[in-house]
């Protein structure tokens, strides 16, 4: 099997429940992953919306996730050695789907990276640009899961 990420909250390509959006409790969905390469030392997660009217909107940056971690609970907050970057709202942690009303459906990509290092050496609040620049030389494998959401 290949490296895979999935969520019990919604099917790949399916609709993200309101619970995980700005119109609900704004809780991150639970995520699980399998079949990471054996040499994986940590993981990094990026959640973004490429359909945002201002360009790609970053909803969640999480890195230095331990190699023995294979799931994140619903409503997960960094704190087990992992670190949150700054999302496009300028905040740490998860910010759920919240497209402009009437803008149509948006796609939300959960991208998980298996890395060859235990830590990227980035402080909390790192930008997406810093995260991507730092992780690009450490990626062993990448997987993604996509959900959709439309705010009416």
DSSP label at residue 38: T
**Which pLDDT value is given to residue 75?**
97
**Which pLDDT value is given to residue 80?**
76
The residue whose two tokens read 């497209």 is: 99
Architecture label for domain 4-149: Alpha-Beta Complex (3.90)
Range scoring the smallest mean pLDDT among 47-61, 78-92, 106-120, 131-145: 78-92
Report the candidate in 73, 74, 101, 97 with the shortest Cα–Cα distance to residue 87. Answer: 97
Domains of the chain by residue range: 4-149
- Tell me the pLDDT tens digit for each residue of 13-62: 999 999 999 999 999 999 999 999 999 999 999 999 999 999 999 999 99
Report the candidate in 21, 1, 13, 144 with the shortest Cα–Cα distance to residue 94. Answer: 21
User: Nearest 5 degrees, angle CA 68-CA 83-CA 74?
Assistant: 70
Q: What is the pTM of this model?
A: 0.96
What is the percentage of the chain residues whose pLDDT exceeds 70? 100
Cα gap 141→111, rounded to integer Å? 11
């Amino acid at each position: 099997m290949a490296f895979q990420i999935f969520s019990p909250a919604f099917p790949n390509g399916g609709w993200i429940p309101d619970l995980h959006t700005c119109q609900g409790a704004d809780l991150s969905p639970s995520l699980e992953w399998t079949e990471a390469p054996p040499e994986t030392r940590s993981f990094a997660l990026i959640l973004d919306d490429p359909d945002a009217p201002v360009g790609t909107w970053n909803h969640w940056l999480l890195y230095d996730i331990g190699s023995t971690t294979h799931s994140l609970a619903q409503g997960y907050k960094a704190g087990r050695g992992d670190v949150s970057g700054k999302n496009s709202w300028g905040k740490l942690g998860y910010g759920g789907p919240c497209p402009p009303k009437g803008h149509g459906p948006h796609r939300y990509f959960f991208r998980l990276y298996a890395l060859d290092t235990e830590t990227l050496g980035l402080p909390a609040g790192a930008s997406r640009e810093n995260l991507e620049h730092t992780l690009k030389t450490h990626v062993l494998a990448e997987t993604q899961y996509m959900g959709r959401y439309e705010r009416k």
